[in-house]
Amino acid sequence: MIPYYLCFILFLVGLYGVITRRNLVKIAISLSIMEFSTFLIFALIGFREGGVAPIVDPADPVKLYVDPLPQALVLTAIVIGLATTAMLMAVIIRIYRKYGTFDIREIKNLRG
């Protein structure tokens, strides 16, 4: 159970960062940390006791592999996380050019 608790602590660290930080880039990095904790939980779910890595070697038959499906799902989700982070970074650079600051307390043009 220890690895699951550590993943939950990682998620809480990311959530603390999104809520309390003022710099835009730190908010983006904290969002990434939150997503990485989900990937770790996904990879941990597929674990079987006494299993080996799921690579088929025809010379040497093995009876028990760990579950390869969550690993494939995590690969897809990592690429999606990369796209989200890249999009966020592009918007942050544009905001710096228009507003002149990275501080989120200065960026409150829309109200009500």
Partner 1 sequence: MNPMIPLFVVIPLAGAFLIMILGRFIRNFNKYLASLILLFLVVVSFWSLFTTGSNVSVYKAGGWEAINSVPIGVYMVMDGFTAIVLCIINLIGFLSVFYSISYIARYTSENYFYALFCLMVAGMNGVVLSGDIFNIFVFLEISAISSYALVAFGVEKNELEATFKYQVLGGIASFLILMGIAFIYWEAKTLNIADIRNVFSSGYDRSYYLLIQILLLSGFGLKAAIIPFHAWLPDAHSSAPSPISAMLSGVLIKAVGIYVIIRLFFNMFAISEGMAILITTLGALSMVVGVFLAIGQWDIKRLLAYHSISQMGYVILSVGIGMMLISRGIRSEIAALAIAGGIFHLINHAAFKGLLFLNAGAIEYSTGTRNLQEMGGLAKSMPATSATSLVASLSISGIPPFNGFFSKLIIIVAAIMARFYFLAFLAVIVSIITLASFMKFQRYAFYNKAEGDNKQKIKEVPFPMLFSMIVLGIICLLLSLLVFPGIREMILTPATDILMDPSRYSSQITGI
Partner 2 sequence: MKGMTIIVKKTVQLISGLIFLYGIYVIIHGHLTPGGGFAGGVIIAGAFILQILAAGSDFMKLTKEELGSTMYENLAIFVVVFLALSGMLFGAKVFFFNWLPKGTVGELVSAGILPLYNIFVGIEVAASILTIFLALVIFKEEMPE
Residues contributing to the site for partner 2 (CB under 8 A): 53, 55-58, 75, 78-79, 86, 89-90, 93, 97
Tokens 């674990």 sit on residue: 47
Q: Least Å distance between CB 91 and partner 1? A: 6
Query: Which of partner 2, partner 1, none has residue 75 at its interface (CB below 5 to 8 Å by kind)?
Result: partner 2
Other Cβ atoms less than 10 A from the Cβ of 98: the count is 9
Nearer to partner 1, 60 or 108 (CB): 108
Please, what is the Cα angle at 25 between 31 and 39, to 5 degrees?
25
Query: Which of partner 2, partner 1, none has residue 73 at its interface (CB below 5 to 8 Å by kind)?
Result: partner 1
Chain positions contacting partner 1, by CB under 8 A: 18, 24, 27, 31, 34-35, 38, 41-42, 45, 69-70, 73, 76-77, 80, 83-84, 87-88, 91-92, 94-95, 98-99, 107-110, 112
DSSP-derived secondary structure for 29-98: HHHHHHHHHHHHHHHHHT--TT-B-S---TTS--S-B--SHHHHHHHHHHHHHHHHHHHHHHHHHHHHHH
Nearer to partner 2, 4 or 54 (CB): 54
